[in-house]
Structure 1
């Protein structure tokens, strides 16, 4: 993992990254780092630069991409695909867009950050842009509904990818 601190790169293992990222986010700082892995493809790709802001637990919603640490201590950037009430509490079901399995339900208090932008090939894509939000919600629905029918989702994805306003995000 690489962390940029005043224009210098810092390399560290995943446990150190988790600790540093959580400390920075808890202090109210925005974090910039390079994504590793393909579990969020195509909206977030291996090598993209991600910008994380501290997560306000009350504002995390369906379709948001969040930073959390799973039960095994691994830091992950995955999408909220469902919210569920458990008594007075709200829990978030999280899964990578390309992951085979869900990460599980987490209380919002265990979510440390939220992706606010993705930088790819020198261009920044803000996560609050309507098209990106729409694609994020579509990815969340895909994780919930189309898991049983990946061919149907693939067909829908190929059609959406041809629409000019979506090409920027998916190509």
Structure 2
């Protein structure tokens, strides 16, 4: 009976190690895909979730945007994602005014949400004393979107209990199937 017990114990250890290695490969693959997207698109964040309705009716809360960033001049009418000093969450709005300086790499832009009545400067969205956005504020330009797919992220952020229930259900499923 000792050899059978040792064999079963060895099998359980191998099975656990196999699952840990598989999980590590999944996480590593996801990170490699993300880093690859960063290289291909030129964006630090090639995919973002829209968190508000400021761009409705075209882009809605819960949509996922795909971004790119290149050296082409930014033009009025483009949708950009940008950071503002003092805010931790990027903003998705449309460029309404562009002022190019010495060359097309230097510019000042003004943005506005399609669903907002005033531009972002008048609406107080920019940092105090800031009148324009510059290249360093821009994260990327929207090149496509998937409607409503980002709601999963929004729900898990707004209601953390959903995240824990989902993780618990996945853990339970794991133990039931093995």
From the two aligned structures, give the one with the greater helix fraction: 2
Flag the structure with more relative contact order, 1 or 2, with Cα contacts below 8 A and sequence separation at least 6.
2
From the two aligned structures, give the one with the greater strand fraction: 1
TM-score, length-scaled by structure 2: 0.47
